[in-house]
Structure formats: structure tokens, C-alpha cells
Chain A
Amino acid sequence: MIVDKLQQLGQKSIAKIQGMGRATIMLFGALVAWPTPRKSFPLLLKQLYVVGVLSLLIILVSGLFIGMVLALQGYTVLSKFGAEQMLGPLVALSLLRELGPVVTALLFAGRAGSALTAEIGLMKATEQLSGMEMMAVDPLRRIIAPRFWAGVISMPLLAMIFTAVGILGGHLVGVDWLGVDSGGYWSAMQANVDFQQDIMNGVIKSAVFALIVTWIALHKGFDAVPTSEGISQATTQTVVTSSLAVLGFDFILTAVMFGG
């Protein structure tokens, strides 16, 4: 029946909007409060270590390889036109504008986002969150807020490291292996990369992605069905939803920043 279908659609939409509302209330409750730096700073530091420092290795390795592969593939095409000098701008611009923020966000969702969801979901399943509330400790302030700030702070830093390592990887392959002139690599890059237009827009992009990925991860964990199956579903959803959200927002941001 068509009315049944309509009802299903309505049910799903209401559930989605309720989920968004709960996510907003969670974030609001975690962030809007009188700041207590002495209490919250050690918590933030711990989370910066878990979320940022432990993601460093995967970011370094994938940045290096993506830069190397970009230089290798770019060289094959550019050398056909005798335009090897443009290898530097090719590597730098694609990393700064797109690959740096996006791939970092995808890796971050897989490496740190899933861990955040699983951790918070398990806390919920083992009733640690309710236990905190019993002791008059606000779990939003104690658990959600430091993790949120750690994600938002560390992802732009990780994206920057990713891009820098990628450009060095491009140098490694392009200059040291394929024999592009080193001076040309850097000077063509400097002539084509603009601080405001390219570097700052890349940083803004990764800050937006950081917000999206961390928020989704925390919400999915906080909202998980407190069973082992529920947690595994929530973890999967974190990775899928945040990856799709990152790619969607990337298109919108690119259209706004570079489309005109």
C-alpha cells in the first residue's frame, strides 16, 4: 500500500532528524559550559596522544606513498608534453587542495573515529557513563568534550604533516629518481602555490572535516545500542557515514573555494 510506504518514509525521516537533534544536544552539552582549564587540560592531553600521536605513523607512511605515486604518475603524462617542470605544482596543488585534507580525514575516520565510537559505546554498554552520572560527574564534559577538542585540534595538524611529507615524497621520486631539476621543482611550485588561496583553504577544509568526523564518531558511540552487536554496528556506521560526509562536504567546499 502506498500509505504504508509513506509511513515508512516518514518514520525514517523522523528518526534521522531525531538523531541529528540528539547529536546537536550532545555537542552543545559537551562544549557550552564554563571552561575549567586546570581540570580539562590533562584530559585533553591524554586524548591528543590517543587521537593524534597514535595516528601519526599511518599519516606519515600514506602521505609519503601518495606523494611518490603522484609524482610517478604525473611525470608519465607531463613528460609527453615536455612539461616536467610542472611536476612540483602538480604534486603540491593536488596535495594541498584535495588529497591532504580528504585522505587525512578518511584515514582519521578509520584509525581514530572508529576507536572513539567503540570506546564510548563500550563505556555505555558497561554502564560507566551512567556510573559517572551517579557520581555527579557529567559524562559529556568528562568524556565527550576532551575527545572532541582532541580530534578538532589534531586533524588539521595531521593534514599539514601529510601534505608536507607528500611533497617531500614527490621530490624523492620526481627529482632523485626520475631526474626532474630540483630547482625547477621548488621554484615552479612557489610560482603557482598561493598562501591564502591554497594553503589556508586546505587548512580550513581539514578543520571542517575534523569537526564532521569527530562529531559523527562521538555521536555514534554515545547513541549506540549498548550491546556487542550495537557497538559493532555503530563502529561501522562511523566509518561509512563520516567517509561519505567528508567526500560530500569536500565537493561543496571545493565548489565554494575554487569553483568561481
Chain B
Amino acid sequence: MTSRKIEVLVGLFVALAIAAFMLLSLKVANSGMAGSGETYMLYAKFENIGGLKVRSPIKVGGVVVGRVRSINLDTEEYSPVVAMEIDSQYNNFPETSSVAILTSGLLGEQYLGLQPGFVDETVSILKSGDYVEDTKSAIVLEELIGQFLFNRGSN
């Protein structure tokens, strides 16, 4: 085996590995979000986050605009605070916007639905670090059943 042939074959091997890595990172992973890179943070306080997790998607009308960065418990009010990392190309949400914790399908995972609000002169635009005031907590099945039974009982 001449050294030239070995070099060519090793080169081929490395090229194949690079091609595999490109396939994995471009076609398999969600490079769309990682690609644009620039993000900003918004916060929202909920009463109950249900099954929301770190890295759950944030959707506006079904389009993913960001992901949940972290979930912490506020030590004063003991209510969960969700930090949302949103792509900076969507930086025009007015402060009248609302977030709700929704579920995709009957058994699907939970995500944050961001609903843009109305705009007029008195309404300012949400900046990085702002809180979204209007939030709707996750629907917990047990609470729903409890309410239903309670209503039945009072009738």
C-alpha cells in the first residue's frame, strides 16, 4: 500500500465524517432557532405551570418564536416565573399581549401560546426583561373535575 493511497483513503474517511456531521447538524437538529442566534428575554408569572418544561416551545399562531429558558419559583409570592427566550426578529409585542399555557393535542406536550395584544399611543412595546402581565395558567385536569363535581353538588 503506497502512502499516497493511504492518504487518499484517510481523506475520504474524514470527508465522510464531516458529511455525516453536516447531515446531523443541518437536517436532524433544529438549526433554525440556533442559526439566527439573537434572542431577548421576556418573563411571565403564572399561578400554575402544569407540565411546562425548560425548552418547551413558545408559539404565536402555531409558529415557534422562542423557547422557555428557565422556570423558577418566586420566593415572595410562591408563584412560578417563566423566563422566555424569544427570537429578536419578533421584537414587536405590545405590553397588552397575553401568554397562556396550552397543550398540543389531547396527550401532547405543553407549550406557551403568546397572543399579541392591541396597539395604541398609550401602549408601549415589550422590551428585554419585561414581564407579560396577562397570563393564563395551565388547565389541571383534577381541578376541572373538582369544579365540575362541586357545581353538580350545589345544584
Contacts and interface: CB of A to CB of B under 8 A. Distances in A.
B20 A45 contact: no
A253 interface: no
B10 A195 contact: no
Contact of B7 (A45, A163, A165, A198): A45
Interface string B16-27: 110111011101
A103 to B, nearest CB: 15
Given A49-B6, A53-B10, A190 B20 contact: no
A92 B25 CA distance: 12
A49 B55 contact: no
Interface stretch (A14-22, A24-32, A106-114, A154-162): A154-162
Contact of B28 (A42, A45, A52, A92): A92
Interface residues of B, number: 26
Contacts of A53: 9-10, 12-13
A193 B30 contact: yes
A195 B6 contact: no
B63 interface: no
B79 interface: no
B24 A96 contact: yes
Nearest to B108: A83
Contacts of A48: 10, 13
B31 interface: yes
B29 interface: yes
A194 B29 contact: yes
A96 to B, nearest CB: 7
B25 A49 contact: no
A37 to B, nearest CB: 15
B21 A160 contact: yes
B32 interface: yes
Given A161-B16, A164-B20, A164-B24, A45 B29 contact: no
- Interface of chain B, main secondary structure: helix
A49 B9 contact: yes
Contacts of A164: 19-21, 23-24
B14 interface: yes
Contact of A190 (B17, B21, B30, B55): B30
Contact of B10 (A49, A190, A197): A49
A167 interface: yes
Interface in B1-15: 1, 3, 6-7, 9-10, 12-14
A255 interface: no
B10 A199 contact: no
A157 B17 contact: yes
Contacts of B12: 53
Given A45-B10, A46-B6, A194-B29, A160 B34 contact: no
A247 interface: no
A186 B6 CA distance: 36
A208 to B, nearest CB: 18
A157 B32 CA distance: 24
A186 B31 CA distance: 13
A194 B17 contact: no
Given A45-B6, A49-B10, A190-B29, A195 B17 contact: no
24 contacts: A45-B6, A45-B7, A49-B10, A154-B13, A157-B13, A157-B14, A157-B17, A158-B17, A160-B17, A160-B24, A161-B16, A161-B17, A164-B21, A164-B24, A167-B23, A189-B28, A190-B30, A190-B31, A190-B32, A193-B28, A197-B55, A198-B29, A199-B24, A199-B28
Interface of B: 1, 3, 6-7, 9-10, 12-14, 16-17, 19-21, 23-25, 27-32, 34, 55, 57
